[in-house]
Amino acid sequence: SLFRLKDLEVAKLGDSDVHVKMLAAPINPADINMIQGTYAILSPLPAVGGNEGVGEVLEVGQRVTTLKPGDRVIPAGSGLGTWRTQGVFPEEMLLKVPNNIPVLCAATLSVNPCTAYRMLADFETLAPGDSVIQNAANSGVGQAVIQIAKATGIKTINVVRDRPDLPKLVERLMALGADHVITEEMLRKPEMKDIFKSIPKPRLALNCVGGKSTTEMLRHLQPKGTMVTYGGMAKQPVMVPVSAFIFRDVRLRGFWMTQWKKDHAQDQESLASMMDTLFQLIRRGQLTAPACTEVPLQDYKAALEATMKPFTSSKQILLL
């Protein structure tokens, strides 16, 4: 195994540093890809895993202005190494979150809901009544897309893989505000026409799978619509028929939250306004944490194994 649980000395607190006691940190697919070395970021080893989570400030260096003991914080970027009980981090690597946000919401906020928010906002100008289609709709991003879209009046068509407990999953996604939940097989069926009697064809498709079902999803996109790829769970390329480019002028784009944060490092305004919107949705009960399984840190091996199982509908959260 690539993992060990180790006891380390906590680093000395510098003038611009913040000493944080971690509370909870999820295990995301990208965290595992980073460890396997198949991700665009390679951490110099030995490294602490985990890119998101929430902690409580214990102590701050004398030059720190934005944070004080008792504040809750989440990572501002990637690679923080959140799977630990305590850490000392530079102030600019942390973002303050309101204390009235539930711990599991805060722990799962900096990657998936931000990704969902940006993809809904940055590629197509969507108005209430418009629709979006997405695959892996039961993923962390998928659940956030459903809820953010619902709160803004956008209809969602949600594609999931067929599975033994499909009715239960459909019910759960509908309860979050999904308008339609369909299996990958249904994308090819004539019944898809029935869906578009009541809602317009989507101008935006969100893809984190790849392979054949992504090509099928693309068929339902409006002319000049955009498909944004943000993951490749099937480990297969995105195949696009030539006719989709020529006769429907579809656009294919990519999105990576880490890159967005780098590009907007100087633009604190756009980060703050996104976070404020998300905090507001959480406080109104319109954005909840994904289905979670809470695991004590010493059981990390079981949590990693559970994350890699097919058809997982629950995010493993390490309690620190």
At residue 253, the 3 state secondary structure works out as: strand
CA-CA distances (angstroms) from residue 55 to 62, 116, 152?
Answer: 20, 23, 30
Catalytic residues: 39
Q: At CA 56, angle to CA 287 and CA 49, rounded to 5?
A: 80
CA-CA distances (angstroms) from residue 210 to 127, 166, 312?
Answer: 27, 21, 18
- Measured between alpha carbons, how far is 193 from 190 in angstroms, rounded to an integer? 6
Contact in structure between 67 and 88 (CB atoms under 8 Å): no
Contact in structure between 227 and 253 (CB atoms under 8 Å): yes
- Measured between alpha carbons, how far is 214 from 236 in angstroms, rounded to an integer? 10
Beta bridge partners of 292: 315
Torsion of CA 267, 271, 277, 280, to 10 degrees: -120
At residue 139, the 3 state secondary structure works out as: coil
At residue 281, the 3 state secondary structure works out as: helix
Count the neighbouring beta carbons within 10 Å of the beta carbon of residue 136: 22
Q: Which helix (H) or strand (E) holds 309?
A: none
At residue 222, the 3 state secondary structure works out as: coil
Contact in structure between 180 and 102 (CB atoms under 8 Å): no
- Measured between alpha carbons, how far is 81 from 87 in angstroms, rounded to an integer? 9
